[in-house]
Amino acid sequence: MKKLLVIVFAILAIGAIVFTLMQNKKKAAEKLKTSNDFSTKIPVNVIPVSEKEIKNSLNLVGVINPFKEVNIATEVPGRIRSVNFKEGDFKGQGSVLVTLDNELKSIAVETAENNYNKAKQDLERYQQLVKEDAATQSQLEQYLFAFNNAQLALNTAYRNVKDTKINAPMGGIINTKNIEVGSYVAPGTLIANMVDISKLKVRVNVPETEVFRLRVGDNVTVTTDIYPDETFDGKISVIAPKGDEAHTYPVEIIINNSKRSPLKAGMFARIDFSTIKGRTSIAIPREAIVGSIRDAHVYVIENNKAVLKKIETGLEGDKDVEVTSGLNVGEMLVITGGNNLKDGTEVSIVK
């Protein structure tokens, strides 16, 4: 009997030990499974996709040009008798800049006047003769032709005398002087270059990816290195309809010159287009984009898995980028951890 009890207790002890070992093994397996499940999930930070106002952060460098610029040239040949300007002078519109010797042209006017008067008298005489049937209509037409030619010659002579005085076609500053007193000039000889810098044109080449966002009349801000603390208000006046070989489009901006901080043509200027009104649309942080802006993708979370989506981008702000297609408001967007993801990867969202 005693021996039997020993055997029973031994069996029970062995059973207890086996049961304990089985339970420990089960717990260890469950713990290992939990550990493995956690280790295969990639931790990510997410935000809900939302709309916000986004502005363009485009900044470019351009060149300042005169508001108006003209080359002044002679209309008639002659010797220069007087020059009434020097480089840097301001001349009002209509001011006499150069006078040519007009002695021979004045003589030509007298001759043309005499010829005109004679042709007029001959025409009037033959008009009367035709009325009296003393001359033919054909003869009258010959004298009418002669009269018209004489009138044309007289007008030309008057114009030649007038053109011996060369006037400023606009108000502005003499930029270059190309002649001296006593020199002989032919028609078309350049005498001066004149510029109006009361206003200025800033010309800048805008990339094709940006130019479609601009409109004539948009306001921009212009700055220069020479006046780093000054800003100049500008307005887009021209957007070229055709680009160049580099796929940039010339854009022209008008600014008022400042008497306190005067600018000169030929200077560089920086144009900030961020003052152009933005728009409210879906916008995401730059760091959420996988790849480049031109071929942009993002990850969103669906059923605890990463889903890779292709998106189209629009305006670019300092921190955010507009999304024109590919995302919907409310989707959960991965903003950090995306570099470790693949389409379909299980994730754990970090709070």
| pLDDT given at position 179 | 95
pLDDT at 16 over 80: no
Reference 165, options 251, 261, 76; nearest CA is: 76
CATH of region 43-55+278-349, choose from 3.30.830.10, 2.40.420.20, 3.30.365.10, 3.30.230.10: 2.40.420.20
DSSP 169: S
Residues 6+ apart with CB under 8 A from 149: 119
Mean pLDDT (whole number) for 202-231? 92
| pLDDT given at position 35 | 44
The CATH H-level (homologous superfamily) assignment of domain 59-65+195-275 is Efflux pump adaptor protein, beta barrel domain (2.40.30.170)
| CATH 1.10.10.60 for the 103-162 domain, yes or no | no
Helix pair 137-162, 103-131: axis angle to 10 deg: 160
Domain boundaries, the chain: 43-55+278-349, 59-65+195-275, 103-162
| pLDDT given at position 63 | 98
pLDDT at 33 over 50: no
User: Are residues 104 and 80 in contact, defined by beta-carbon separation less than 8 angstroms?
Assistant: no
| pLDDT given at position 103 | 86
Read off the pLDDT of residues 232-245 as tens digits, 9 standing for 90 and up.
999 999 999 999 99
Mean pLDDT of the chain: 88
Confidence of residue 343 (pLDDT cuts 50, 70, 90): very high
Strand, helix or coil for residue 74: coil
- Rounded to two decimals, what is the model's pTM? 0.63
How far is residue 162's CA from residue 159's CA, in Å, rounded to a whole number?
A: 5
| pLDDT given at position 199 | 97
Read off the pLDDT of residues 126-157 as tens digits, 9 standing for 90 and up.
999 989 888 889 999 999 999 999 999 999 99
| pLDDT given at position 9 | 53
